Structure 1
Amino acid sequence: MNMTSRRGFIKSASTAALAATATPALAFQMPITGTPDPLPEWFRDWKRGTARWEGIPEETPEADQLLAENVDLENRICSTQATSREGVIAQLDLVLDGNSWTGGLMTEASDRVVFENIRAALVGGLV
Protein backbone atom coordinates (compact mmCIF):
# COMPACT_ATOMS: atom_id res chain seq x y z
CA MET A 1 0.00 0.00 0.00
CA ASN A 2 1.53 3.33 -0.99
CA MET A 3 1.47 6.47 1.20
CA THR A 4 -1.38 8.14 -0.71
CA SER A 5 -3.70 5.18 -0.38
CA ARG A 6 -2.82 4.76 3.33
CA ARG A 7 -3.75 8.37 3.97
CA GLY A 8 -6.96 7.90 2.03
CA PHE A 9 -7.75 4.76 4.02
CA ILE A 10 -7.08 6.48 7.37
CA LYS A 11 -9.12 9.51 6.34
CA SER A 12 -12.06 7.38 5.17
CA ALA A 13 -11.82 5.16 8.28
CA SER A 14 -11.84 8.16 10.62
CA THR A 15 -14.79 9.69 8.74
CA ALA A 16 -16.68 6.39 9.00
CA ALA A 17 -15.88 6.16 12.72
CA LEU A 18 -17.12 9.72 13.26
CA ALA A 19 -20.34 8.97 11.38
CA ALA A 20 -20.88 5.79 13.38
CA THR A 21 -20.46 7.59 16.69
CA ALA A 22 -22.56 10.61 15.69
CA THR A 23 -25.52 8.63 14.36
CA PRO A 24 -26.79 7.27 17.74
CA ALA A 25 -26.93 10.78 19.19
CA LEU A 26 -29.02 11.98 16.26
CA ALA A 27 -31.54 9.21 16.86
CA PHE A 28 -32.58 10.82 20.15
CA GLN A 29 -33.34 14.27 18.74
CA MET A 30 -36.95 15.30 18.56
CA PRO A 31 -37.94 16.22 15.02
CA ILE A 32 -38.54 19.91 14.45
CA THR A 33 -42.28 19.95 13.74
CA GLY A 34 -45.25 22.26 13.74
CA THR A 35 -46.51 20.89 17.07
CA PRO A 36 -46.38 23.28 20.03
CA ASP A 37 -43.19 23.18 22.06
CA PRO A 38 -44.10 22.10 25.63
CA LEU A 39 -41.00 23.67 27.23
CA PRO A 40 -42.27 27.24 27.72
CA GLU A 41 -45.44 26.00 29.46
CA TRP A 42 -43.47 23.53 31.59
CA PHE A 43 -41.16 26.36 32.64
CA ARG A 44 -44.13 28.59 33.56
CA ASP A 45 -45.56 25.67 35.59
CA TRP A 46 -42.19 25.22 37.28
CA LYS A 47 -42.04 28.96 38.17
CA ARG A 48 -45.58 28.81 39.62
CA GLY A 49 -44.68 25.69 41.62
CA THR A 50 -41.52 27.33 42.94
CA ALA A 51 -43.47 30.40 44.07
CA ARG A 52 -46.08 28.21 45.79
CA TRP A 53 -43.42 26.03 47.43
CA GLU A 54 -41.71 29.08 48.93
CA GLY A 55 -45.00 30.14 50.56
CA ILE A 56 -45.80 26.94 52.49
CA PRO A 57 -44.17 25.23 55.49
CA GLU A 58 -41.51 22.67 54.68
CA GLU A 59 -41.88 18.98 55.52
CA THR A 60 -45.61 18.90 54.88
CA PRO A 61 -47.41 16.65 52.40
CA GLU A 62 -48.19 19.69 50.24
CA ALA A 63 -44.52 20.76 50.19
CA ASP A 64 -43.43 17.22 49.34
CA GLN A 65 -45.96 17.07 46.49
CA LEU A 66 -44.89 20.45 45.06
CA LEU A 67 -41.25 19.46 45.28
CA ALA A 68 -41.93 16.18 43.45
CA GLU A 69 -43.88 18.03 40.74
CA ASN A 70 -41.10 20.59 40.26
CA VAL A 71 -38.40 17.92 40.12
CA ASP A 72 -40.45 16.13 37.46
CA LEU A 73 -40.84 19.39 35.50
CA GLU A 74 -37.11 20.09 35.72
CA ASN A 75 -36.32 16.60 34.49
CA ARG A 76 -38.70 17.01 31.55
CA ILE A 77 -37.32 20.45 30.70
CA CYS A 78 -33.75 19.13 30.80
CA SER A 79 -34.36 15.96 28.82
CA THR A 80 -36.55 17.36 26.02
CA GLN A 81 -35.10 19.01 22.93
CA ALA A 82 -36.67 22.38 22.23
CA THR A 83 -38.61 22.79 19.01
CA SER A 84 -38.94 26.57 19.23
CA ARG A 85 -36.88 29.59 20.12
CA GLU A 86 -39.08 30.03 23.21
CA GLY A 87 -38.30 26.45 24.25
CA VAL A 88 -34.56 27.12 24.09
CA ILE A 89 -35.07 30.26 26.17
CA ALA A 90 -37.11 28.27 28.73
CA GLN A 91 -34.26 25.76 29.09
CA LEU A 92 -31.73 28.53 29.52
CA ASP A 93 -34.00 30.29 32.03
CA LEU A 94 -34.21 27.10 34.08
CA VAL A 95 -30.44 26.64 34.09
CA LEU A 96 -29.91 30.26 35.08
CA ASP A 97 -32.62 30.38 37.76
CA GLY A 98 -31.15 30.33 41.26
CA ASN A 99 -34.03 28.20 42.57
CA SER A 100 -33.52 25.32 40.16
CA TRP A 101 -31.81 22.08 41.06
CA THR A 102 -30.28 22.27 37.61
CA GLY A 103 -28.68 25.57 38.54
CA GLY A 104 -26.73 24.05 41.40
CA LEU A 105 -27.72 20.70 42.84
CA MET A 106 -28.24 18.37 39.86
CA THR A 107 -25.54 15.98 38.73
CA GLU A 108 -23.13 16.81 35.95
CA ALA A 109 -24.87 14.26 33.73
CA SER A 110 -28.19 16.11 33.87
CA ASP A 111 -26.47 19.46 33.32
CA ARG A 112 -24.84 17.97 30.25
CA VAL A 113 -28.18 16.70 28.91
CA VAL A 114 -29.86 20.11 29.04
CA PHE A 115 -26.92 21.80 27.31
CA GLU A 116 -26.80 19.03 24.68
CA ASN A 117 -30.50 19.61 24.00
CA ILE A 118 -29.99 23.38 23.74
CA ARG A 119 -27.16 22.79 21.31
CA ALA A 120 -29.18 20.29 19.26
CA ALA A 121 -32.03 22.76 18.96
CA LEU A 122 -29.73 25.54 17.81
CA VAL A 123 -27.89 23.28 15.37
CA GLY A 124 -31.27 22.11 14.08
CA GLY A 125 -31.87 25.62 12.78
CA LEU A 126 -34.19 27.19 15.34
CA VAL A 127 -32.22 30.43 15.50
Structure 2
Amino acid sequence: MAERQRTSTLCATSLAQGGVPTAARKHIPRYPLVSATLVGRLAVSEARQGERLGAMLLADAVRRAYASAATVGSSMLVVDAINDRAAAFYEGNGFVRLQESLRLVLPMQAIQRLVEP
Protein backbone atom coordinates (compact mmCIF):
# COMPACT_ATOMS: atom_id res chain seq x y z
CA MET A 1 0.00 0.00 0.00
CA ALA A 2 1.36 3.40 -0.95
CA GLU A 3 2.17 5.74 1.92
CA ARG A 4 -0.13 8.76 2.11
CA GLN A 5 1.76 11.98 1.46
CA ARG A 6 1.25 15.04 3.66
CA THR A 7 1.95 18.52 2.47
CA SER A 8 2.59 20.00 5.89
CA THR A 9 2.71 19.02 9.54
CA LEU A 10 0.04 20.12 12.03
CA CYS A 11 0.31 19.85 15.81
CA ALA A 12 -1.43 21.20 18.89
CA THR A 13 0.01 24.21 20.68
CA SER A 14 -1.12 27.09 22.87
CA LEU A 15 -0.45 30.80 23.18
CA ALA A 16 -0.74 33.17 26.12
CA GLN A 17 -3.89 35.29 25.79
CA GLY A 18 -1.82 38.49 26.06
CA GLY A 19 0.41 37.41 23.20
CA VAL A 20 -2.45 37.30 20.69
CA PRO A 21 -2.74 40.44 18.54
CA THR A 22 -5.75 42.66 19.25
CA ALA A 23 -7.06 42.08 15.71
CA ALA A 24 -7.28 38.34 16.41
CA ARG A 25 -8.20 38.48 20.11
CA LYS A 26 -11.90 39.23 19.52
CA HIS A 27 -12.28 35.82 17.85
CA ILE A 28 -10.92 33.63 20.66
CA PRO A 29 -12.10 32.43 24.09
CA ARG A 30 -10.94 34.41 27.10
CA TYR A 31 -8.76 31.78 28.79
CA PRO A 32 -5.19 32.36 30.04
CA LEU A 33 -3.91 29.96 27.37
CA VAL A 34 -5.41 29.85 23.89
CA SER A 35 -5.53 26.43 22.24
CA ALA A 36 -4.20 26.53 18.68
CA THR A 37 -2.94 24.44 15.78
CA LEU A 38 0.66 24.97 14.70
CA VAL A 39 1.66 24.54 11.05
CA GLY A 40 5.17 23.19 10.63
CA ARG A 41 7.37 22.14 7.73
CA LEU A 42 5.65 24.23 5.11
CA ALA A 43 8.27 25.21 2.55
CA VAL A 44 8.86 25.41 -1.18
CA SER A 45 12.32 24.91 -2.65
CA GLU A 46 13.89 28.00 -4.16
CA ALA A 47 13.79 26.35 -7.59
CA ARG A 48 9.99 26.04 -7.42
CA GLN A 49 9.13 29.40 -5.84
CA GLY A 50 6.78 31.61 -7.81
CA GLU A 51 4.62 28.67 -8.92
CA ARG A 52 1.94 29.24 -6.22
CA LEU A 53 2.91 25.96 -4.54
CA GLY A 54 3.19 27.69 -1.17
CA ALA A 55 -0.38 28.96 -1.48
CA MET A 56 -1.58 25.43 -2.30
CA LEU A 57 0.32 23.95 0.65
CA LEU A 58 -1.07 26.61 2.96
CA ALA A 59 -4.64 26.11 1.68
CA ASP A 60 -4.34 22.39 2.40
CA ALA A 61 -3.01 23.03 5.92
CA VAL A 62 -5.78 25.57 6.61
CA ARG A 63 -8.49 23.14 5.46
CA ARG A 64 -7.08 20.28 7.55
CA ALA A 65 -6.64 22.49 10.63
CA TYR A 66 -10.20 23.78 10.31
CA ALA A 67 -11.59 20.25 9.86
CA SER A 68 -10.00 19.15 13.14
CA ALA A 69 -10.51 22.39 15.13
CA ALA A 70 -13.68 21.33 16.94
CA THR A 71 -12.21 17.94 17.85
CA VAL A 72 -8.98 19.32 19.29
CA GLY A 73 -10.44 22.59 20.62
CA SER A 74 -8.28 24.83 18.46
CA SER A 75 -9.30 28.46 18.13
CA MET A 76 -6.56 29.62 15.76
CA LEU A 77 -3.89 28.54 13.31
CA VAL A 78 -0.28 29.50 14.10
CA VAL A 79 2.76 29.67 11.81
CA ASP A 80 6.38 30.45 12.55
CA ALA A 81 7.84 32.22 9.54
CA ILE A 82 11.50 31.60 8.81
CA ASN A 83 12.12 35.23 7.76
CA ASP A 84 10.35 38.50 6.92
CA ARG A 85 9.69 37.39 3.33
CA ALA A 86 7.86 34.28 4.58
CA ALA A 87 6.00 36.40 7.17
CA ALA A 88 4.85 38.71 4.37
CA PHE A 89 3.54 35.65 2.48
CA TYR A 90 1.45 34.63 5.51
CA GLU A 91 0.26 38.21 6.09
CA GLY A 92 -0.83 38.29 2.44
CA ASN A 93 -2.95 35.24 3.23
CA GLY A 94 -4.76 36.83 6.18
CA PHE A 95 -2.46 35.95 9.10
CA VAL A 96 -1.73 38.58 11.76
CA ARG A 97 1.82 38.90 13.09
CA LEU A 98 2.51 38.79 16.80
CA GLN A 99 4.32 41.89 17.98
CA GLU A 100 8.09 41.85 17.35
CA SER A 101 7.97 38.26 16.15
CA LEU A 102 7.95 36.00 13.11
CA ARG A 103 4.99 34.10 14.59
CA LEU A 104 1.62 34.77 12.95
CA VAL A 105 -1.94 33.68 13.72
CA LEU A 106 -5.21 33.24 11.89
CA PRO A 107 -8.37 32.74 14.00
CA MET A 108 -10.57 29.75 13.15
CA GLN A 109 -13.55 32.13 12.85
CA ALA A 110 -11.74 33.88 9.99
CA ILE A 111 -11.00 30.51 8.42
CA GLN A 112 -14.67 29.55 8.81
CA ARG A 113 -15.69 32.53 6.67
CA LEU A 114 -13.28 31.35 3.98
CA VAL A 115 -14.22 27.67 4.06
CA GLU A 116 -17.96 27.67 4.64
CA PRO A 117 -20.42 29.34 2.24
Richer in helix (by share) = 1
Bigger-Rg structure (1/2): 1
Richer in strand (by share) = 2
Q: Please give the TM-score of this superposition, normalised by the length of structure 2.
A: 0.32
